[in-house]
Structure 1
Amino acid sequence: MRTSYRRLTTVLGLAAASASVLALGTAPAQAAGYVFDAYNALSSPSAKTEFAQDGEILYALDIKSDGHGVVAQWRYNSSSAVHSYYHGGGFGTVGKWDLSFAEGTTLQIRACLQDTSNGSPYSCGGWEYAKA
């Protein structure tokens, strides 16, 4: 009886240790995959910009069927140089751009509307902070 009790506690101990290692091993990956959001308006938004920390991907989402294209903008923390990425695919579509920043870089993102690729962004939302 004593031997089977030892085996059971050993097996349970190994299972608990394995579960702990798995949980601790996945926690940093989940934290690194944070997604930052910005909208062009607080009420009834029609454009959304997302920055995915994991992979440093910038997305422009057209979330309203209004005939306008969308723009994802980013800049380094409070810089005057603004980078714009236009997406005119229409409602329900997503533009995607693979960017590259040094780990821990602080940037700001926002969403805007734009009617053509050579047009100008308008109806932009406020700047939201993001971190690479």
Structure 2
Amino acid sequence: MRTPYLRLTTVLGTAAASASVLVLGTAPAQADGNVFVAYNALTSPSAKTEFAQDGEILTALDMKSDSHGVAAQWRYNSSSATHSYYNGGGYAVAKNWNLSFAEGTTLQIRACLQDTSSGAPYSCGGWEYAEA
């Protein structure tokens, strides 16, 4: 009589463990720490900005072949001073900038379109939080 009971508890335990993995999910593997991402649009984005916590690298990536360059922007948490970095390298070209912040600094990042290095960023996405 103990055998069916033990088998049932083993099956239920395995099912519960499997369900918890599905509910809680698993964190993606990241060899270089946390990477924070922002897009210029929710649907069909054409610009992407990333901030890698490890190394404090800001990246601008042009995601569409549309004759527009892209800009990665950052600011201190809710500050009015915005720092903008232009990438006119073309479609699928990423450009990186090595920044330096105090550990634990809260930033905001966003992605924009920009047509020339002297042009102004436009069609920017919303500000996303990142941490150095």
TM-score w.r.t. the length of structure 1 is 0.76
Task: Find the counterpart in structure 1 of residue 40 from structure 2.
Answer: 40
After superposition, where does 1:67-86 map in structure 2 within 5 Å? Answer: 67-86=67-86
Per the TM alignment, residue 31 of structure 1 is displaced from its structure 2 partner at its CA by 8.4
Q: Give the corresponding residue for 2:125.
A: 125
Aligned to 1:88: 88
Q: Distance in 2 between matches of 1:119 and 1:125?
A: 17
Gaps of 5+ in 1: 1-29
Name the stretch that deviates more: 108-117 or 31-40.
31-40
Moved over 3 A (4+): none
Partners of 1:123 and 1:32 lie apart in 2 by: 30
Cα deviation code 1:38-82 (max 9, x no counterpart): 000000000000000000000000011111000000000000000
Cα deviation code 1:73-110 (max 9, x no counterpart) = 00000000000000000001001000000000000000
Partners in 2 of 1:108 and 1:75 — Cα distance?
Answer: 5
**Structure 2 counterpart of 1:86, one-letter code:** Y
TM value normalised by structure 2: 0.76
In structure 2, the residue matched to 1:8 is none
Q: What amino acid is aligned across from residue 33 of structure 2 in structure 1?
A: G
Whole-angstrom CA distance in 2 between matches of 1:31 and 1:61: 20
Which structure has greater helix proportion? 1
Distance 1:68 1:50 in 2: 18
Aligned CA RMSD, in angstroms, stands at 1.2
Q: Which amino acid aligns with 2:124?
A: C
SS in 2 for 1:36: strand
AA aligned to 2:102 is A
Give the unaligned 5+ runs of structure 2: 1-29
The residue type paired with residue 91 of structure 1 is: Y
SS of equivalent to 2:65: coil
